[in-house]
Structure 1
């Protein structure tokens, strides 16, 4: 996977940025502290992005089959006999209880 740079500046570019001073310029210590805070944010964002990219890749690589959908069973006709009902009940008991019922 190709890594793209999302921000215009890298943390190294921010760190290495040198401002010219003038008579009424900014306090250099305040600027340096602010740039240090920005670098920490960049590092945190880069770490979070890497973690999310890894999580996305792991989710993409999981092979979970789609859920199986069974066709509905046909409903019995209204004129069933007792024999049909008993046979279905017996099949249901075999299915639910298995061989335990007949041991």
Structure 2
């Protein structure tokens, strides 16, 4: 990308006055051409503004996606896995408190 800056605005073009000479250009033709240039400048500026907004929107969307991926990778253990771990710990606790198994007490 170049670091050149736009030198003229649509207002600069609109307000530009040329010196009139004896054998100069047709002033109406020059004015008509400059009017077209002004319209183009305005369209370019609108397009640039629209594209800058779109870039900002896409960057924001991309950040949200990256945050979602990051939070997904640090996600908590799924509930089914937690339930299994809790049941296993509970079973170990029962064995420690009541002996080998609680079923042998139920059968007696």
Q: What TM-score does the superposition give when structure 2 sets the normalisation length? A: 0.55
Structure 1: segments with no counterpart, 5+ residues? 70-103
Secondary structure of the residue that 2:65 maps to in structure 1? coil
Larger radius of gyration: 2
- How far did 1:7 drift? 1.5
| Alignment length (residue pairs) | 65
Return the alpha-carbon distance in structure 1 between the equivalents of residues 5 and 40 of structure 2: 14
Aligned twin of 1:58: 57
Aligned twin of 1:41: 40
- How far did 1:6 drift? 4.2
Provide the alpha-carbon RMSD of the alignment: 2.2
Q: What TM-score does the superposition give when structure 1 sets the normalisation length? A: 0.57
1:41-100 Cα offsets, whole Å, 9 max, x none, are 00010010000000000011111135989xxxxxxxxxxxxxxxxxxxxxxxxxxxxxxx
